[in-house]
Amino acid sequence: MNYKVIDKESYYRKGVYRHFSEDCKCSTSMTARIDVTDLEAYSRSKGSKFYINFLYLLSKVLNSREDYRMGYLWQTDELICWDVINPTQYIFHDDTETCTPVYTEYSEDYDAFYENAYKDIESAKQTREYGLDSANHPNWFDASYISWLSYDSLNIELPDGYLYFSPIINWGRYREEGGRLLMPVSVRLNHAVADGYLVASVFRLLQKEIDSFVKR
């Protein structure tokens, strides 16, 4: 859990950070559809799981620039940037209709990430405990698949008084439109460290990474 402390006086978003961390504490979120036609075809042809492939690409995107790896240490009032952030995913249990958090460490190495994520998921299927341990996982972002619906919009509310900078990402079922498979993805970031451009960039980077990944 290594990080560097950001000098607030030289931070390139200094004025925006001050405003949205003191005067107007709020988040910014956006839902858009991304084209996963080629990723679905690739996953099927390789016999790999689409879900894990997308989780890998999402994790890669969020680790690609510092703006998505920001954190806040309330004990010392420090703005920090993590060296790496990891996905907290969730496994749904049909019998209890509850979820179990799954912690998977991010690795840029696709094969290593895929193997670890698969093992973590299988292990989580064996328990019905919620087991959320955010205190020991401060550099983890929320990655939740809403498998029951191809939705049009989603909003995550957090108390305005709490400076929570980790990304919260949700995505739903893809559906065919015009011969392509489009999947809703929702991105929530704290406005103190992100604006509309940075939120929109997540979608653009995801599409770019998908296009590159399927050419492996």
Q: 46: Cβ–Cβ under 8 A, 6 or more apart, which residues?
A: none
CB-count exposure of residue 198 (10 Å: 0-12, 13-18, 19+):
middle
What's the count of helices (H) and strands (E) in the chain, helices before strands?
5, 10
pTM score above 0.85:
yes
For 69-89, give one letter per residue: b (16+ CB within 10 A) or e: bbbbeeeeeebbbbebbbbbb
For domain 3-213, the question of CATH label 3.20.20.100 is answered with no
CA gap 35, 171 in Å, rounded: 13
What are the pLDDT tens digits along the chain (216 aa)? 699 999 999 999 999 999 999 999 999 999 999 999 999 999 999 999 999 999 999 999 999 999 999 999 999 999 999 999 999 999 999 999 999 999 999 999 999 999 999 999 999 999 998 988 888 899 999 999 999 999 999 998 887 667 899 999 999 999 999 999 999 999 999 999 999 999 999 999 999 999 999 998
